[in-house]
């Protein structure tokens, strides 16, 4: 039997998600709901398989290996595993300058 993890969304990740949805909703509420559903459906896979996400390349290049991500194009759901917890830390549009965002958030 595989281990079950608890998923906790950081306030900044919830804010990221809300900003993404609000931005899309300006043009189409239907598309915003579709994107929200798509992102929310992908995150629960972390309950049982959090290690399947890749190490975040921009941070790996800086010698930081504790953060992982799953991709829901064009968004990146970034998280950290600690014991039986998965902390979702950010949801970022990969078309933005991801390295600057990550270094600002994760390396302080």
pLDDT given at position 102: 67
**Alpha-carbon distance values, 24 to 7, 12, 17, 36 (Å):** 25, 18, 11, 10
Rounded to an integer, what distance in angstroms lies between the CA atom of residue 15 and that of residue 21?
A: 10
Q: Is residue 64 packed enough to be buried (19+ CB in 10 Å), middle (13-18) or exposed (0-12)?
A: middle
**Alpha-carbon distance values, 52 to 28, 40, 69, 71 (Å):** 32, 17, 9, 11
At 80-95, the pLDDT tens digits run 999 999 999 999 988 8
pLDDT above 70: residue 96: yes
At 1-46, the pLDDT tens digits run 578 899 999 999 999 999 999 999 999 999 999 999 998 888 878 8
pLDDT given at position 42: 84
Rounded to an integer, what distance in angstroms lies between the CA atom of residue 43 and that of residue 79?
A: 10
Q: If you count DSSP H runs as helices and E runs as strands, how many of each does the chain have, helices first?
A: 4, 5
Q: Does domain 6-106 have CATH number 3.30.2310.20?
A: yes
């Amino acid at each position: 039997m595989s281990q079950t993890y608890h998923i906790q969304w950081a306030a900044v990740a919830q804010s990221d998600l809300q900003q993404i949805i609000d931005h899309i909703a300006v043009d189409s509420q239907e598309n915003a709901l579709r994107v929200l559903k798509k992102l929310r459906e992908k995150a629960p896979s972390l309950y049982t398989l959090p290690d399947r996400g890749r190490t975040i390349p921009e941070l790996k290049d800086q010698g930081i290996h504790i953060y992982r991500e799953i991709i829901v194009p064009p968004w990146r759901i970034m998280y950290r595993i600690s014991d039986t917890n998965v902390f979702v830390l950010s949801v970022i549009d990969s078309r933005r300058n991801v390295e600057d965002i990550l270094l600002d958030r994760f390396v302080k």
